[in-house]
Amino acid sequence: NAGVTQTPKFQVLKTGQSMTLQCAQDMNHEYMSWYRQDPGMGLRLIHYSVGAGITDQGEVPNGYNVSRSTTEDFPLRLLSAAPSQTSVYFCASRDNLDNYGYTFGSGTRLTVV
Amino acid sequence: GQNIDQPTEMTATEGAIVQINCTYQTSGFNGLFWYQQHAGEAPTFLSYNVLDGLEEKGRFSSFLSRSKGYSYLLLKELQMKDSASYLCAVDRGSTLGRLYFGRGTQLTVWP
């Protein structure tokens, strides 16, 4: 099992550009979520999904869209990048029987200039 | 906000014991996690508590009191490699799938 795979690992965008951060898991987990981590702020929930076709907003959803067309994939879209979206982004997954909690991807370091 | 509070920084000596506390709002509680995060890396799972009491796993133990909205992570026989950020996170809401984090406790272990 590869676990949770995030691509790309690094990205530089210009203000106003759009892009999609990819997240895929091969553990058949129901629950997937996206977080951003900024210095001094901890990890904050952006969007989450409780299964294919079902998504909802977290703490800081503005400027981001998600979709969950399959159990495996949960992409995060930045529609018009802003410097305030410079951050490290983590994707995570779990299932409802997993007492070992959420598995995190290795992260995407995004810089918006 | 989610009001998950933990100390910002702690220091300890190699071989010692350290306790990192975490307090949280009790509404919609589905479980509490502790993660370790080294600089530049992803969080890695340490422990999970959903019922009151102590969970022990080698050098690491975690305690939960749901009525008090309180947890702690206990690290014994500290090693230099334990220098990292320790994250308290609560799974909260009407369904699973939403983790809310404290700001993390940066632990430095000195020789």
Count Cβ–Cβ pairs < 8 Å, chain A vs chain B: 61
pLDDT at B83: 98
Task: Kindly give, in sequence order, each residue whose CB lies less than 8 Å from that of residue A13, ignoring residues fewer than 6 positions away.
Answer: A19, A78, A81, A110, A111, A112, A113
Instruction: List per-residue pLDDT tens for chain B, 111 residues long.
Output: 468 999 999 999 999 999 999 999 878 888 999 999 999 999 999 999 999 999 998 999 999 999 999 999 999 999 999 999 999 999 988 777 889 999 999 999 999
- Per residue, the 3-state secondary structure of B73-99, as one string, reads EEECCCCHHHCEEEEEEEEECCCCCCE
Shortest CA gap A107–chain B (Å) = 6
Q: Where are the beta strands (DSSP E) in A3-41?
A: 4-7, 10-13, 19-25, 31-38
A77 interfaces chain B, CB cutoff of 8 Å: no
Both tokens of residue B27?
Answer: 């509404």
Residues B47-66: tens digit of each pLDDT: 999 999 999 989 999 999 99
Question: Which residue of A43, A101, A106 is in closest CB contact with B45?
Answer: A101
Q: What is the DSSP letter of B111?
A: -
- pLDDT, mean over chain A: 94
The answer to whether A102 and B45 have CB atoms below 8 angstroms apart is yes
